[in-house]
Amino acid sequence: EVQLVESGGGLVQPGGSLRLSCAASGFTFSSYEMNWVRQAPGKGLEWVSYISSSGSTIYYADSVKGRFTISRDNAKNSLYLQMNSLRAEDTAVYYCARDSYDSSGYYPRCFDIWGQGTMVTVSS
């Protein structure tokens, strides 16, 4: 079964740090581009960051650039998000999401598999 499982969420004080992890299974992780998407309580979806299959290309939303770092370990089938200088507005459920890809090499630029999410609360 294709699966993504996030972990590492919790309560952190403003200005603090947290590292999220996403464990992938059931597919060849190293072949897929990956993303983090978040959703603040009662709000809509917000894309956070993207990483290419090799890790050589990375993009960030303007709201987190300079504070968050995405990375991956293909040997461990894992995706990470290091979050520093956290703010109250970073409070959200964080999802890891797989970038869709087909065997012909076409990338539609959508998210076909999502994890269940991990909650991050930034509060004093």
Partner 1 sequence: SYVLTQPPSVSVAPGQTARITCGGNNIGSKSVHWYQQKPGQAPVLVVYDDSDRPSGIPERFSGSNSGNTATLTISRVEAGDEADYYCQVWDSSSDHYVFGTGTKVTVL
Which residues make up the interface to partner 1 (CB under 8 A)? 35, 37, 44-47, 50, 59, 61-62, 95, 100, 108-112, 114-117
Residue closer to partner 1, measured from CB, 61 or 77? 61
Residue closer to partner 1, measured from CB, 1 or 75? 1
- Least distance (Å) from partner 1 to the CB of residue 13? 27
SS3 state of residue 55: coil
- Least distance (Å) from partner 1 to the CB of residue 111? 6
User: Which residues make beta-bridge pairs with 30?
Assistant: none
Q: Measured between alpha carbons, how far is residue 97 from residues 4, 16, 49, 118 in Å?
A: 8, 25, 10, 12
Residue closer to partner 1, measured from CB, 14 or 112? 112
Residue closer to partner 1, measured from CB, 73 or 112? 112
- Least distance (Å) from partner 1 to the CB of residue 88? 21
- Least distance (Å) from partner 1 to the CB of residue 78? 18
Which helix or strand (DSSP H or E) is residue 39 part of? strand 34-39
Q: Measured between alpha carbons, how far is residue 10 from residues 2, 13, 63, 75 in Å?
A: 25, 10, 20, 26
Looking from the CA of 8 toward its CB, the CA atoms found within 13 Å total 18
